[in-house]
């Protein structure tokens, strides 16, 4: 694993600038590009909507006075399109009177700036709105509801109680050992906690069945990867973990599910989870067997390192981490 290992790109925000005057657009572009932002320019509302559909726009600066659809209408339309998330919009206007500001607020504008504008003031406003956007996304209430659902789901079965939380915590530990960024560690924690959320629809009878499962039951259980992805998809703050939820049962040799991905086609986050998930399941008590010791579990994982279930390089690093932890007297669970 190289030191450049990363699950997410640290990207600068995308600013959508809309003005029918090319000189204004060029000025906005110059100001924000110098500050390291990505700027997409649109000279009309229709091209702004096209850009919005093609780029991950984080914030929009819109001139009010434009031929055709004006800035107020465009603002209203963008707010409607982004109703499930927060897209801050700053209206740029020469009309600095209260009537226009009220109209702007009614259309959902978050702030205003008068022309000719002070570049420092504009950058400051944009930065503070982007901070607010981060906060909104962080405080995505539905995410907390889903996290609570996991606890409720696991409480149904004493054998899996606490499994997802442990996987989340231990995946974070492994991520630190791998040198992943704080953002990636955060994603892995969520992915660990939520990886089996799709089991919520499975009956206790199947979950606790001690004997052999029928092919129909196996099919139902396998669906939990896709159901989990569907449950988390509506939440913006969980988009980064969808590939991990979907692919945590893929196998390095391509014989896993749901997509038969192989090797590095499997997202790194899913490859990490697959090892931690298996480790925690192995050392937990199951209806059909007792608890395995950590030592025998690690031996088993080591023996199976090249047999096709996991990324062998990651398994090697995992075993190294566990070895170091045991030398420090760390006790799992
Ligand atoms: Fe699973």
Residue closest to 146 by CA, chosen among 218, 228, 225, 69: 228
Cα–Cα distance measured from residue 49 to residue 62, given in angstroms and rounded to the nearest whole number: 12
pLDDT at 332: 61
- How far, in Å, is the centroid of ligand 1 from the Cα of 36? 41
d(CA 235, CA 117): 36
Q: What is the pLDDT of residues 60-115, one digit of tens each?
A: 999 998 999 999 999 999 999 886 678 999 998 875 677 888 888 899 999 988 88
Instruction: Name 241's Cβ contacts closer than 8 Å, sequence gap at least 6.
Output: 187, 190, 191, 194, 232, 269
Ligand 1 center–CA 207 separation, angstroms: 12
The rounded distance, in Å, linking the Cα atoms of 308 and 266 is: 13
Q: How far, in Å, CA of 229 to CA of 4, rounded?
A: 28
User: pLDDT at position 259, please?
Assistant: 97
> For tokens 């889903």, what's the residue?
146
First to last CA, the chain: 27
Handedness of CA 284, 306, 224, 287 (dihedral sign): negative
- pLDDT value for 35: 87
130: Cβ–Cβ under 8 A, 6 or more apart, which residues? 13, 58, 59, 88
How close is the Cα of 277 to the center of ligand 1, in Å?
8
Q: Which residues are the active-site residues?
A: 199
Last residue of a domain, one of 138, 163, 194: 138
Distance from Cα 100 to the centre of ligand 1, integer Å: 54
Scored b (16 or more CB within 10 A) or e, 66-93 reads beeebbbebbbbbbeebeeebbbbbbbb
Same domain for 147 and 127: no
Q: For position 5, what pLDDT does the model report?
A: 60
Say what the pLDDT of residue 96 is: 62
Q: Do 207 and 113 reside in the same domain of the chain?
A: no
Beta bridge partners of 112: 91
- The enclosing domain of 155 has a CATH number of 1.10.3210.10
pLDDT at 142: 67
* pLDDT score, position 150: 84
Residue 173 sits in the same domain as residue 320 = yes
Q: Do 132 and 172 reside in the same domain of the chain?
A: no
Count of structural domains, the chain: 2
Nearest to 86 by CA among 129, 145, 40, 41: 129
35: buried, middle or exposed (CB in 10 Å: 19+, 13-18, 0-12)?
middle
Residues of the chain with pLDDT under 70: 1-10, 83-84, 95-96, 138-142, 287-289, 328-333
The verdict on 276 and 171 lying in the same domain is yes
Same-domain status, 131 and 180: no
Q: What's the confidence (pLDDT) of residue 2?
A: 42
- Gap from CA of 266 to ligand 1 centroid (Å): 15
Distance in Å, CA 329 to ligand 1 centroid: 30
**Residue 4 belongs to a domain:** no
Report the Cα 223 to chain-centroid distance in Å: 21
Measured in angstroms, how far is the CA atom of residue 256 from the centroid of ligand 1? 11
186 with 261, same domain: the answer is yes
Euclidean distance between CA atoms 162 and 168, whole angstroms: 10
Q: Which of 78, 109, 138 is the last residue of a domain?
A: 138
pLDDT at 148: 79
How confident is the model at residue 6, as a pLDDT?
57
Structure tokens at 308: 């096709």
- In 3D space, the residue among 3, 195, 46, 27 whose CA is nearest the CA of residue 123 turns out to be 27
Residues in the chain: 333
- Identify whether 5 is part of a domain: no
For the CA atoms of 17, 20, 22, 27, what is the dihedral angle to 10 degrees? -40
Residue 225 C-alpha to ligand 1 middle, in angstroms? 6
What integer pLDDT is reported at residue 3 of this predicted model? 46
Query: For helices 224-232 and 215-222, what crossing angle results, to 10°?
Result: 30
Domain-ending residue, one of 122, 138, 154: 138
Answer yes or no: is 333 within a domain. Answer: no
Q: What is the pTM of this model?
A: 0.60
Which residue range forms the structural domain that includes residue 156? 141-327
pLDDT for 266 equals 98
């Amino acid at each position: 694993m190289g030191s450049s290992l990363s699950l997410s790109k640290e990207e600068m925000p995308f600013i959508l600038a809309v003005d029918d005057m090319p000189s204004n657009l060029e000025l906005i572009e110059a100001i924000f590009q110098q500050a390291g932002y990505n700027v997409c320019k649109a000279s009309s509302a229709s091209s702004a909507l096209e850009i919005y559909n093609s780029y991950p726009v984080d914030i929009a600066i819109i001139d009010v006075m434009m031929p055709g659809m004006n800035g107020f209408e465009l603002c209203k339309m963008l707010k409607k399109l982004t109703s499930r998330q927060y897209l801050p919009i700053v209206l740029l206007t020469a009309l600095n009177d209260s009537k226009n500001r009220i109209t702007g607020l009614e259309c959902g504008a978050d702030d205003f700036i008068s022309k000719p504008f002070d570049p420092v003031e504009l950058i400051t406003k944009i930065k503070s709105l982007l901070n607010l956007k981060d906060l909104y996304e962080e405080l995505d209430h539905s995410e907390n509801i889903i996290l609570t659902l996991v606890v409720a789901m696991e409480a149904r079965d004493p054998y899996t109680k606490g499994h997802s939380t442990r996987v989340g915590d231990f995946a974070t530990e492994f991520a630190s050992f791998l040198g992943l960024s704080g953002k990636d560690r955060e994603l892995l924690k969520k992915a660990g906690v939520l990886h089996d959320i799709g089991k919520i629809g499975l009956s206790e009878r199947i979950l606790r069945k001690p004997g052999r499962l029928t092919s129909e039951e196996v099919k139902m259980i396998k669906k939990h990867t896709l159901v989990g992805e569907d449950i988390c998809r509506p939440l913006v703050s969980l988009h980064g973990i969808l590939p991990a939820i979907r692919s945590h049962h893929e196998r390095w040799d391509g014989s896993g599910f749901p997509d038969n991905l192989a090797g590095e086609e499997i997202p790194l986050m899913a490859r990490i989870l697959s090892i931690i998930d298996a480790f925690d399941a192995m050392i937990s008590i199951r209806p059909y067997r007792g608890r395995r010791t950590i030592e025998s579990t690690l031996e088993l994982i080591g023996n199976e390192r090249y047999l096709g279930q996991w990324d062998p390089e990651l398994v090697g690093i995992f075993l190294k981490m566990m070895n170091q932890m045991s030398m420090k007297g760390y006790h799992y669970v």
